[in-house]
Structure 1
Amino acid sequence: MAARASWTTEMSAEKAPVTRKSSAKPARSRAREFALQALYQHLVGGQDPESIDQFTRGLSGFHKADSVHYDALLHGCIKEAAELDALIVPLLDRKLQEISPIERAVMWIGAYELRHVAEVPWRVVLNECIELAKDFGGTDGHKYVNAVLNGIAPQLRAAEVEADRASGKARA
């Protein structure tokens, strides 16, 4: 389950409460955010992975991200784009070109993690991707991402998904 940012209330000089969002976000969640931004640049601008990577590493806060996970996501998703699209396309109700680049990049991240990052439970992968889509995508884009990744998960993590469904941890 993704860690949610907590809110704190402080008193300003005028004694009125000031609400601030804390930035206690896990390094892997940050890596996913930076990978999403980088994949967006790749999808929209067609830039090469090396220049995107160099630019992204210079962004504020990158030092707090899990750079190994970021590398795997950025370079893995670009390298396996055709295979990831092949997993996604059968679950779409429209042409791939009609999918927002944000939602497409989020689905790439989810499909890539389901395929290659077995130590992250499938439900965590889905939750993280849903949160990315909520934070960066269109109004209901997270619902679309959820539906597609819920369709991919049983293909790539059959035993894990079935075990969760049998135990009641996930809906059938």
Structure 2
Amino acid sequence: MSFTTPKHRSRERVVQALYQYSVSGGEVLQIEQQFINQKNGKISKAFFSNLFLNIMKSRTELDALIAPTISRDTEELGTVEHAILYLGTYELKNSIEIPYKVVINEALEVAKTYGAEGAYKLINASLDKLAQSLRKIEVNA
């Protein structure tokens, strides 16, 4: 098993929490607490909550950013892939202190662990296009 940081584990849990919400619905704050209170591996609780709650609030906006970067409707994405794209897109747009290459790499690592076989290719292509527009100065530096 590879060494994972608390932030990486937090990102994995964000994807798991988004997946759970997509599949079974439920109360957002209950899902947040459930994933914060999991005992397997240390996470950054504030980082997890910030990502999960803000992604939940901005899914429509994130879908609008994702849609032009993929060759199908966002509704046709696999649930896990959609969650990973939410995570990567949100971080590219709102976490400018994290280098875009780190954001993309983290999303790809999560995709390789949880996504469908080869899904990381779609995620990489989509986030790469988003980085070109959301992080233009950084990408061109």
Tell whether the structures are fold-level matches, with TM greater than 0.5: yes
Letter of the structure 2 residue corresponding to residue 161 of structure 1: V
How big is each residue's C-alpha offset from its partner over 1:42-83, in whole Å with a ceiling of 9 and x where there is no partner?
Answer: 111122211111211222225x11111101110010000011
* Bigger RCO (CA 8 Å, 6+ sep): 2
Corresponding residue number in structure 2 for 1:154 = 132
Structure 2 residue aligned with 1:168: none
What amino acid maps onto 1:43 in structure 2?
A: S
Residue number in structure 1 paired with 2:97: 119
Q: Distance in 1 between matches of 2:73 and 2:127?
A: 17
Instruction: Point out 4+ residue stretches in structure 1 off by more than 4 angstroms.
Output: none
Structure 2 residue runs without a partner (length 5+): none
* Pair 1:134 & 2:112 matched: yes
How many Å apart are 1:96 and its aligned residue?
1.4
* Structure 1, unpaired ranges of 5+: 6-23, 164-172
- Provide the residue aligned with 1:91 in structure 2: 69
Larger strand share, 1 or 2: 1
Structure 1 match to 2:6? 27
Q: Which of these two proteins has the greater Rg computed from alpha carbons? A: 1
1:118 match: secondary structure: coil
Aligned residue in 2 for 1:16: none
| Equivalent residue runs for 1:61-100 within 5 Å | 61=40, 64-100=42-78
Q: Name the CA distance, whole Å, in 1 between partners of 2:10 and 2:127.
A: 19
Q: 1:60 aligns with which of 31, 39, 60?
A: 39
TM-score, normalising length from structure 2? 0.95
Shift of 1:102: 0.5
Query: Which residue matches 1:39?
Result: 18
TM-score by length of 1: 0.78
Compare the two structures and name the one with the higher helix fraction.
2
- State the distance in 2 between where 1:90 and 1:76 align: 22
| Percentage of matched positions with identical amino acids | 35
Alignment length, in residue pairs? 141
